[in-house]
C-alpha cells in the first residue's frame, strides 16, 4: 500500500471528534500508522497508554516536528493555535475535518477553517460526527451550499453511546463489537458501517 | 422536509454563504525554527504509471516499502547523472 498520510483537524475547534477518529483509524487499520499529536494532555484518550511505543510522537506547539516522514502517518492536530498546521496540511494526502454540530457556530467556524485548509490541500473530507440525526441532513445540505465545497466528500458517524467507551475504556467501537455479541449487533447496524465507508474512501484496510 | 426544517436550512445556508468569504488565520503563533541537523524525508516526488506497470514494480520490490524502493531509484539516478 502507498504511504498514507492523514491530518485530522478542524482549526482550533476542540471536542469535534478528532482523536476518536484518529485513534479508531490507528487501532483498526491493518497497516501500521505513526500517530502524531500536538496536544497529548488534552486528548480524549490516554494516548501514551494505548498507542504503541515507537508509534506515538508528541510535538507540542512551538517545537519542531522532528521525525522521519516515511510510512503511514496520522496527524491528530488541533484544539490549539499551531503555526505548523498549514505545513502539515500541505504535506498530507488527505485532511479529515470532523464537525460535531451543536449550533450554527460550529458550522460557520468549520466553513472558515475549510476555506483556509483547502488553499493548501484540496483533498478534504468532512465527517459529521456525533450530531443529532435531525441535523445531519441539514448540515450536509448547508455545507454543499458553498460551491467551493462541491468536491468535498461528506461522511457521517452517528452519535452513539458506544463512542464514549473510547474515552472511558479506551475501546474503539470495533473492539467493543468484538467483545460482545449484543453490542456487535447494534454497532453493525449503523456506526461500524459508517466507519467502514470512511475507511474505504481513505483506502485503509481493516 | 417540514417547513420548520426548510426555514432552519435556509438560515444555515445563509450563514455558510456569509462564512464562505472568510478564512480562519490558523497560524497565529510563530515557531522559531532551529536548524535541523539532518534533512528529513518530508517532500514527495510523484509520477503516474499504468496499473500493470505498478503491479510489476510492486511484485519486484519484495519487503521494501514502495517509498523506499522509489527513493532507491531516485538516488541511483542522481548518482548516475551527477
Selecting from A64, A70, A113 the residue whose C-beta is nearest the C-beta of B41 gives A70
pLDDT of B28: 65
Q: A49 at the B interface (CB within 8 A)?
A: no
pLDDT of residue B37: 54
Q: What DSSP character marks residue A131?
A: -
pLDDT band at B33 (very low <50, low <70, confident <90, very high): low
CB contact under 8 A, A138 and B12: yes
Average pLDDT, chain B: 83
Q: How far is B19 from chain A (nearest CA, A)?
A: 6
Name the residue among B8, B11, B22 with its Cβ closest to that of A115: B22
Nearest to B24 among A62, A91, A113 (CB): A113
φ/ψ of B63, rounded to 5, equals -90, 0
Q: Is A81 on the interface with B (CB under 8 A)?
A: yes
Going by C-alpha positions, the residue among A195, A125, A123, A185 that lies closest to residue A158 is A195
Longest Cα–Cα distance of chain A, Å, equals 46
C-alpha cell at A166: 473510547
- Helix, strand or coil, per DSSP, at residue A42: coil
CA distance B11 to B71: 52
CA distance B61 to A29: 23
If you average pLDDT over residues A125-130, what whole number do you get?
96
- Phi-psi domain of A159 (left: phi exceeds 0; alpha: psi -120 through 50; beta: other): beta
Cβ-based contacts of A67 with chain B (< 8 Å): 40
Distance from CA of B40 to the nearest CA of A (A): 6
The three-state (H, E, C) secondary structure of B22-79, written as one string: CCCCCCCCCCCCCCCCCCCCCCCCCCCCCHHHHHHHHHHCCCCCHHHHHHHHHHHHHH
Higher pLDDT, A156 or B71: A156
Return the number of other C-beta atoms located less than 10 Å from residue A186's C-beta: 17
* pTM, entire model: 0.80
Residue B80: is its pLDDT beyond 60? yes
DSSP letter for B31, please: -
Q: Do A68 and B41 touch (CB under 8 A)?
A: yes
Instruction: Provide the shortest C-alpha distance from residue A72 to chain B (in Å).
Output: 11
Phi-psi label, residue A203: left if phi above 0, alpha if psi -120 to 50, beta otherwise: left
Of the candidates A11, A66, A84, the beta carbon closest to that of B36 is on A66
Q: Is the pLDDT of residue A93 over 70?
A: yes
Q: What is the DSSP string of A48-75?
A: HHHSPTTTEEE--TTS---S---SEEEE
Residue A111, number of CB atoms within 10 A of its CB: 26
The C-alpha atoms of residue A75 and residue A5 are separated, in whole angstroms, by 8
Task: Decide which of A144 and A45 is more confident.
Answer: A144
Among A57, A108, A135, most B C-beta atoms within 10 A, so best to mutate, is A108
Lowest mean pLDDT among A75-89, A92-106, A135-149: A75-89
B33 CB-contact burial (10 Å; exposed 0-12 / middle 13-18 / buried 19+) = exposed
| ipTM attached to this prediction | 0.77
Chain B residue numbers touching A63 (CB-CB < 8 A) = 31
Q: Which residue has the higher pLDDT, A60 or A44?
A: A60
Of the ranges A40-49, B32-41, B44-53, which one carries the lowest mean pLDDT score?
B32-41
Amino acid at each position: 500500500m502507498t504511504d498514507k498520510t492523514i491530518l485530522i483537524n478542524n482549526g482550533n475547534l476542540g471536542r469535534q471528534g478528532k482523536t476518536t477518529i484518529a485513534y479508531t483509524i490507528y487501532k483498526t487499520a491493518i497497516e501500521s500508522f505513526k500517530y502524531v499529536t500536538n496536544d497529548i494532555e488534552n486528548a480524549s484518550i490516554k494516548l501514551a497508554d494505548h498507542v504503541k511505543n515507537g508509534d506515538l510522537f508528541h510535538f507540542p506547539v512551538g517545537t519542531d516536528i522532528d521525525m522521519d516522514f516515511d510510512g503511514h502517518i496520522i496527524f491528530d492536530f488541533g484544539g490549539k493555535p499551531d503555526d505548523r498546521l498549514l505545513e502539515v496540511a500541505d504535506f498530507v494526502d488527505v485532511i479529515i475535518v470532523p464537525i460535531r454540530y451543536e449550533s450554527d457556530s460550529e458550522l460557520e467556524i468549520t466553513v472558515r477553517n475549510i476555506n483556509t485548509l483547502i488553499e493548501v490541500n484540496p483533498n478534504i473530507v468532512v465527517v459529521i460526527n456525533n450530531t443529532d440525526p435531525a441535523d445531519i441532513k441539514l448540515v450536509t445540505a448547508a455545507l454543499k451550499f458553498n460551491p467551493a465545497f462541491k468536491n468535498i466528500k461528506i461522511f457521517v458517524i452517528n452519535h452513539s453511546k458506544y463512542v464514549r467507551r473510547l474515552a472511558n475504556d479506551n475501546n474503539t467501537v470495533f473492539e467493543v463489537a468484538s467483545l460482545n455479541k449484543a453490542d456487535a449487533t447494534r454497532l453493525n447496524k449503523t456506526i461500524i458501517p459508517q466507519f467502514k465507508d470512511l475507511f474505504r474512501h481513505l483506502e485503509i484496510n481493516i | 422536509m417540514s417547513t420548520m426544517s426548510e426555514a432552519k436550512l435556509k438560515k444555515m445556508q445563509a450563514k455558510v454563504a456569509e462564512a464562505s468569504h472568510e478564512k480562519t488565520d490558523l497560524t497565529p503563533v510563530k515557531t522559531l525554527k532551529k536548524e535541523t541537523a539532518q534533512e528529513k524525508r518530508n517532500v514527495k516526488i510523484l509520477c503516474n504509471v499504468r496499473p500493470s506497470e505498478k503491479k510489476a514494480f510492486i511484485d519486484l520490490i519484495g519487503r521494501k516499502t514502495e517509498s523506499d524502493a522509489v527513493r532507491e531509484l531516485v538516488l541511483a539516478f542522481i548518482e548516475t547523472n551527477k
